[in-house]
Structure 1
Amino acid sequence: MSDTWSSSALGIPRAIDPLADYTTVPMPMDERAFICLPSDDDDKEEGVTSLRQPAITTTTLRPPCGPEHSLIAQMIWLNQLLYRITCMNADVAAGRIQAVALEPTIRRLSTALDDWSDALPADMHNTSDNMTYWADQGFGRIFVNLHLNYNYAAQLLFYQFLHWNQDADADADPNADTASPATVTAPPIPSANLYAQKCTTHAAALCALVYHARTHRDTDVSYSLVGHMLVVASTVQIYTLLFSADEAAIAAARDRLERNFEIITTLRRYWPCVDASLGRLRAFQNACLRCKEQSFRLDRWMLRFVLDYGQAIQEREETDAVDEGGEGDEAYETEDVGRLFG
């Protein structure tokens, strides 16, 4: 999991094969069963207080307790999908996937995400009761992280359709400026509007999960990567502000932007690296001020934006000028984009 995130963040090749046959690799056991295992001290020393959490006993376990009931194992399976989505976005940005060939890939990945979510054990679904349950067991933050990764992966999968849906709307507008980038013919993806809606839904779900998790000390996720996730989700809110005609959606997006900025600023107190996330959000806002339609196009700049959370990002116009000149970050040259993730 760390390899998937870190390799893209730092622009380096992966060290571990993410597509290994996990059917032959033992998965982590149920965390609740693991924490109940006796330690050497329990066996050798009498009268020593156990380090096991008192809230976790064999009676709290819900059999069966196989790998499918492990939060970490579920994270590993989800990570395979995140890797495939990352590779697909790299191929799109590099121009290696044509529009007519893209929808089957999107459909397969979307179905795989749905299947993963549907197959989760009942006590792992993203509900308030389940969050409380896992917090009581001492694994609340892992539970929250699992669903943050799910919504983030889905958001990345459908992100490019914000732009495509926008193009389709512009083409349908007889008064649209034909010289505007927004009137570029949209790729022939019949489900572009549906996918755009899914992107906004998952971005909203990611924000809501962070807000809810912060209300309980045992589920509050305050690690630096949350800042990056909220930045990407915030750009979806910016899209709603720029293009939506739904006043309720606009008000909700504005509220999320304010809350996200507050949370990112709070994280900055503990993680100086979150400054990079704030800088990325400012760069995106500046890009929107210059050309709001171009800002949501999945190109090499946007690939850097959504993946390279560990590195500073140039202003979009600076990167565009470099790309047009045939030079730029070697790691993202067309023929080399894929090697970062493979």
Structure 2
Amino acid sequence: MAADRPKRARAGACKNCRVRKRRCVPSDNGDECVLCQSLSIPCSLSQNYTEPEGPVLKRDFQGTPRQLAEREKPLNGASLSSFPATAATAAPSSFAFSSHALRPVKPQRSPLVTTPVVLLELVSLYFRFVHNIAHTLFHEASFIRRFNEGRASLLHVHAMCALSARYSQNQVFNGTPPGSRGQVYAAEATRLLQGYLGSPSLESTQACVLIGHFMGGEGDLKAKHTYFGLAKLHAENLSLWAMPHNLTVVHREERRRTWLSVRIADHWTAVDTSVEPAPFPHGRDALPAVDDIAFHTFDPNLLREDRASCNMWAHMAGTLDIFARISILLARLSRSVISFDTYCREVPLLTQRLEKWADGLPEELKYNISNLTSFANKGLGRTFLSMHIGYYHFRQMLYFPFLDARANRSTSIPTDGAAQCKSSAAMVSEIVQYAMRFQNCELDYYIYGYIAVVSSCVHLHTLLLSEDPSELWTARQRLVSNFEYLMSLKILWPMVNLSVARLRIFEDFCRNSMSDPFALDNWMARFITEHASIPPVRKQSTLPSLEPVLVDSATACVAGLNGHGGLSGTDETGSTGAEWGVLSTLLSDRSLTSEAVVNNALDWLLE
């Protein structure tokens, strides 16, 4: 009977179209509307639709930033404890949806501050310090517009806040350490995500990437790998690399950039777990197609897909396979699957691929002070430096085994690998300096802390084992710069505390094994390649003691590396505060031995 039939709401309009006050047009398959299909979100017209637990921002969140500020004047001078906890944080519940439930973030006593002004501030900080550095997912202008109109996903907002709250200077966070502020937002994001796990969408894929990055910053590797794995599963379920013709330019580009971010996360995860990354057979069409500057600044209606040369993320994608090959080669060497001679034969091939990538960059993307200044002025200095620090990191990884003087002596293949490693580590230190000194160039993210730790290991090795006075002096200065950077990151990211702890372990082995400082066993290779874990303590070598053998000296200055030299035209001196000035004076005291310098610097960093 007609009376028994359920009525269709609003003449069949789905919930998403009703919220947006849009005409709901069924798609060709009839199981969803055109809007939901274009956004890759669950449609209530679908027979398999289930109500998600992640709502969009309520309409009372809308308004301009100034209107929001006027509405939230009581925030001024308030403390974090003055805001009541939401139900989610006052009485947090654990995951219980299956026996394989995701591990939730530990509930915190700090309340979840979700006032419009605070959320807008944290979302803006996310786009400033995290987005387009560690990953690229969103068109910023479109997201901020949705936020101000009350249409942004709360799942995304809370996941962004989890990453960015550590950068806030808002008084509501007084009393909460920067590295702990994001935990309550991450707990809420993981709770909201449960409603999306069975319905893959672009929204859920992006959320998994965000939460995975947060877990990595916390040092929770299992959770990080779980969320990155979920992101990959959701992306593959959606065929995120495919571009339906009925999507807008912004939606297509967000799909491409999200897919690339999933690929990058998958490669780092594979290195963490010592496995070969899965191949991604989708070609150039799946890479970002919109110019980075345009995507960062333009109105969505002005964007064009032109495969512009000024697309740093598309170029960075070209290094992923090289990075994977270097990691696999190091792992095989560590397990004695290949000999050091075989490794030496492979290195020139990978060096050639790296140099071909660097030579193939358009002039406006090459590493020089003019380009850095240009991108910094456009708000993309961080992306520019992240691209180049990755390149030099892959080089310092590739040449790291050549610091083993005994291995160099045992091979019949002549090489300058030790000098190349030191030059690459020096370039990493130089980029770190510019990241600290140039506005809009900050690399205040934990992944780059790991890269700086590897660079610092090379400088420590030089200080402890070299006898060249000029080389010792430059290594000392580079170590100072790296440690200043790492100290600032320690405050923000718990993972960096774990990374810098490696330095003391590394120093101890160098100091106690002068005759055999770099036996490239499985422990040392894992030290190089695994950016988010601490290898177990390495067993002392049982080889008979040898006379100390020193590696050849590297170039004393931060010289150009095969034509890809350092920046010029900036002052390399500067003051960074009274406390740092004292340490800098201590480290520049030429009467101190290199061992004393290393001890003092490590004591300061690890205190």
- Classify the TM-score, shorter chain: 0.7 to 0.9
CA distance, structure 2, for counterparts of residue 131 and residue 188 of structure 1 = 42
Partner of 1:102: 343
**Residue-pair matches, total:** 279
Tell me which of the two structures has the higher relative contact order, counting C-alpha pairs closer than 8 angstroms and 6 or more residues apart: 1
One-letter identity of the residue aligned with 1:111:
Q
Alpha-carbon shift at residue 12 of structure 1 (Å): 6.3
Q: Does 1:8 align with 2:280?
A: no
Map 1:120-269; keep pairs closer than 5 Å: 120-164=361-405, 168=408, 185-191=409-415, 194-269=416-491
Which stretch of structure 1 is more off in the superposition, 72-81 or 251-260? 251-260
Aligned to 2:539, what secondary structure does the other structure show?
helix
Partner of 1:270: 492
Aligned to 1:273, what secondary structure does the other structure show?
helix
In the alignment, is the contact (CA less than 8 A) between 2:340 and 2:407 conserved in 1?
no
Q: Does 1:317 align with 2:539?
A: yes
Q: Does 1:111 align with 2:376?
A: no
Which stretch of structure 1 is more off in the superposition, 121-130 or 259-268? 259-268
Q: 1:257 to 1:299 in 2, by over 3 A?
A: same
One-letter identity of the residue aligned with 2:295:
F
One-letter identity of the residue aligned with 2:481:
R
One-letter identity of the residue aligned with 2:524:
M
Partner of 2:206: none
Q: Does 1:39 align with 2:323?
A: no
- Specify the structure having the higher radius of gyration (Cα): 2
Q: Residue by residue, what CA displacement relative to the aligned partner does 1:236-263 show, whole Å, maximum 9, x if unpaired?
A: 1122113323211101111222222222
Q: 1:101 to 1:16 in 2, by over 3 A?
A: closer
CA distance, structure 2, for counterparts of residue 126 and residue 12 of structure 1 = 31
Aligned to 1:241, what secondary structure does the other structure show?
helix
For normalisation by structure 1, the TM-score amounts to 0.74
Q: 1:113 to 1:15 in 2, by over 3 A?
A: closer
Q: Does 1:297 align with 2:519?
A: yes
Alpha-carbon shift at residue 316 of structure 1 (Å): 2.2
CA distance, structure 1, for counterparts of residue 354 and residue 295 of structure 2 = 27
Calculate the aligned-residue CA RMSD, in Å. 2.5
CA distance, structure 1, for counterparts of residue 341 and residue 282 of structure 2 = 30
Q: Residue by residue, what CA displacement relative to the aligned partner does 1:294-320 show, whole Å, maximum 9, x if unpaired?
A: 3323221112211223223333237x7
Q: Residue by residue, what CA displacement relative to the aligned partner does 1:317-342 show, whole Å, maximum 9, x if unpaired?
A: 37x79xxxxxxxxxxxxxxxxxxxxx
Q: 1:86 to 1:67 in 2, by over 3 A?
A: farther
In the alignment, is the contact (CA less than 8 A) between 2:401 and 2:518 conserved in 1?
yes
Q: Kindly, what percent of the aligned residue pairs are identical?
A: 27
Alpha-carbon shift at residue 167 of structure 1 (Å): 5.0
Which stretch of structure 1 is more off in the superposition, 289-298 or 241-250? 289-298
Q: 1:101 to 1:308 in 2, by over 3 A?
A: closer
One-letter identity of the residue aligned with 2:330:
N
In the alignment, is the contact (CA less than 8 A) between 2:452 and 2:482 conserved in 1?
yes
Aligned to 2:494, what secondary structure does the other structure show?
coil
> Which segments of 5 or more consecutive residues in structure 1 lack a partner in the other structure?
43-51, 53-57, 59-63, 169-184, 322-342
For normalisation by structure 2, the TM-score amounts to 0.43
One-letter identity of the residue aligned with 1:89:
L
In the alignment, is the contact (CA less than 8 A) between 1:68 and 1:121 conserved in 2?
yes
